[in-house]
């Protein structure tokens, strides 16, 4: 989807800020073997350990991730571009899951209804297709409940962030029985092989609606359970009674977090006529210029590159479509003048008079 090159059976893992090669990651070719190992590990894991014992092992895995946070956060920035401060925040969130574990523990307890007792049972092998925008935390938000419930898990990280995914999975797996948690690397073809395997009982994916439809079409004949968190088109509405300073600040901050590459980021703004011009002025003159675009490893940069050159071309096409159809360009920042070939920086851009039928509104 992101145009990540594959060469000689390896993902060419590149830094979107520099275009430099980070690593060559071999694509998993033994998908059936990995699934079989997960299947064989399922019964011992689900029947010989209690939910509490499993949760305690998972907590040890999170402590392991916490111990490598100074390596993990920069790796996230290098692989997908988000500013280091945001990557550090993600890693801190990864390690802080006490409340989450309490919710899991409570949910796994038997529930008594008069003379009936409801008991949750593990399904078997669960496949997680994790996204690149939160490449560490999103793995755990899906893997922790699956593992605590007694399932075995195979994680296929996004091909954009393979090393981050590997580091998270291997850190957790240190404290788990062999083959309870595994990683598979590759592009959509590896994901499709995992989804289609009849020994896989559940698929969890965060990503595009198009990919979600493909997963559902494969899972349906097997009545395979799916958890899909797909893309949205989130609006912000500014009424004439709003605090314009706060609204403008939030509009910019929550549009540009993670370079706007968040499923719940602000993607379009509807402003009451009475305050429209003032709101646009505050956004474009006061707040947007504060967000400097550059390499996320440099702390003064609040907006990193887009995740790939494919994503950059996609955004460029959206902006140009709107301008060609009459949208007004209110502000556009600079990008690093010395940006190397293969980098994917895109300027902070503010458009007004954006109408239905323009790509930034409808897709």
Residues 288-315 have pLDDT tens digits of 999 999 999 999 999 999 999 999 999 9
Asked whether the beta carbons of 11 and 4 are under 8 A apart, the reply is yes
Average pLDDT over residues 46-59: 95
Cα radius of gyration (the chain): 22
Average pLDDT over residues 344-357: 96
State the pLDDT at residue 362. 83
Rounded CA gap, 125 and 155, in Å? 11
Question: Given this chain, do its domains 6-107+117-230 and 235-362 carry the same CATH topology?
Answer: no
Number of residues written out for the chain: 363
Q: Produce one character per residue of 292-320: b if its CB has 16 or more CB atoms within 10 Å, e if not.
A: bbbbbbeeebbbbbbbbbebbebbeebbe
Average pLDDT over residues 99-120: 90
For the chain, what percentages of helix, strand and coil (3-state, to nearest 5) are there? 45, 20, 35
State the pLDDT at residue 175. 97
Q: How confident is the model at residue 52 (pLDDT cuts 50, 70, 90)?
A: very high
pLDDT of 355 higher than 80:
yes
Rounded CA gap, 137 and 148, in Å? 16
State the pLDDT at residue 363. 79
The total of other beta-carbon atoms located within 10 Å of residue 284's CB is 21
Cβ-based neighbours of 273, under 8 Å, separated by 6 or more: 240
Residues 134-183 have pLDDT tens digits of 999 999 999 999 999 999 999 999 999 999 999 999 999 999 999 999 99
Query: pTM for the complete prediction?
Result: 0.94
Q: Which of 14-28, 96-110, 234-248, 338-352 has the lowest mean pLDDT?
A: 96-110
So where are the chain's domains? 6-107+117-230, 235-362
Total H helices, total E strands in the chain: 13, 14
Q: DSSP assignment of 130-162, as one string?
A: --SSSTTHHHHHHHHHHHHTT-EEEEE--TTSH
pLDDT of 133 higher than 90:
yes
DSSP element (H, E) containing 266: none
Average pLDDT over residues 319-343: 95
Residues 265-291 have pLDDT tens digits of 999 999 999 999 999 999 999 999 999
Per annotation, catalytic residue among 36, 229, 267, 313: 229
Rounded CA gap, 306 and 300, in Å? 17
Name the CATH code of domain 6-107+117-230 (choices 3.40.605.10, 3.40.50.620, 3.40.50.2000, 3.90.550.10): 3.40.605.10
Q: Measured in Å, how far apart are the chain's first and last C-alpha atoms?
A: 16
State the pLDDT at residue 153. 98
Q: How confident is the model at residue 320 (pLDDT cuts 50, 70, 90)?
A: very high
| Rounded (10°) angle between helices 273-282 and 244-256 | 60
Name the CATH code of domain 235-362 (choices 3.40.50.2300, 3.40.309.10, 3.90.1150.10, 3.30.70.20): 3.40.309.10
The angle formed by the CA atoms of residues 97, 102 and 107, to the nearest 5 degrees, is 125
pLDDT of 231 higher than 90:
no
The total of other beta-carbon atoms located within 10 Å of residue 155's CB is 27
Rounded CA gap, 287 and 82, in Å? 19
Average pLDDT over residues 325-333: 97
**Annotation marks residue 229 as catalytic:** yes
Alpha-carbon distances, residue 99 vs 37, 58, 125, 146, 167 (angstroms): 32, 14, 26, 16, 24
Average pLDDT, the chain: 95
> pLDDT > 90: what percent of the chain?
88
Residues 155-169 have pLDDT tens digits of 999 999 999 999 999
pLDDT of 1 higher than 70:
no
State the pLDDT at residue 326. 96
């Amino acid at each position: 989807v992101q145009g990540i090159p594959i060469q000689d059976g390896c993902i060419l893992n590149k830094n979107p800020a520099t275009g430099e090669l980070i690593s060559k990651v071999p694509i998993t070719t033994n998908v059936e073997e990995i699934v079989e190992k997960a299947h064989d590990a399922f019964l011992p894991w689900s029947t010989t350990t209690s939910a509490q014992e499993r949760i305690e092992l998972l907590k040890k895995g999170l402590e392991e991730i916490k111990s490598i946070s100074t390596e993990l956060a920069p790796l996230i920035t290098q692989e997908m571009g988000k500013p280091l401060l945001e990557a550090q925040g993600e890693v801190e969130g990864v390690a802080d899951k006490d409340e989450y574990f309490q919710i899991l523990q409570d949910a796994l307890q038997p529930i008594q209804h008069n003379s009936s007792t409801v008991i949750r049972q593990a399904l078997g092998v669960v496949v997680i297709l994790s996204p690149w925008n939160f490449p560490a935390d999103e793995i755990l938000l899906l893997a922790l409940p699956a593992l605590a419930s007694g399932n075995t898990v195979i994680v296929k990280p996004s091909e954009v962030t393979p090393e981050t995914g590997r580091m998270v999975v291997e850190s957790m797996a240190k404290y788990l029985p062999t083959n309870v948690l595994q990683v598979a690397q590759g592009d959509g073809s590896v994901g499709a092989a995992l989804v289609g395997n009849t020994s896989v009982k559940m698929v969890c994916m965060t990503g595009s609606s198009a990919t979600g439809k493909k997963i559902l079409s494969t899972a349906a004949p097997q009545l395979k359970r799916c958890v899909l968190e797909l893309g949205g088109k989130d609006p912000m509405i500014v009424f004439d009674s709003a605090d314009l300073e706060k609204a403008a600040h939030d509009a910019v901050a929550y549009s540009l977090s993670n370079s706007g590459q968040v499923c719940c980021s602000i993607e379009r703004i509807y402003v009451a006529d009475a305050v429209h011009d003032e709101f646009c002025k505050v956004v474009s003159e006061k707040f947007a210029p504060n967000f400097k675009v550059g390499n996320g490893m440099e702390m003064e940069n609040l907006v990193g590159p887009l995740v790939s050159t494919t994503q950059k071309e996609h955004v460029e096409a959206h902006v140009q479509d709107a301008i060609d159809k009459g949208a007004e360009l209110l502000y556009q920042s600079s990008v690093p003048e010395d940006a190397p070939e293969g980098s994917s920086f895109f300027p902070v851009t503010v458009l007004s008079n954006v109408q239905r039928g323009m790509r930034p509104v409808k897709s």
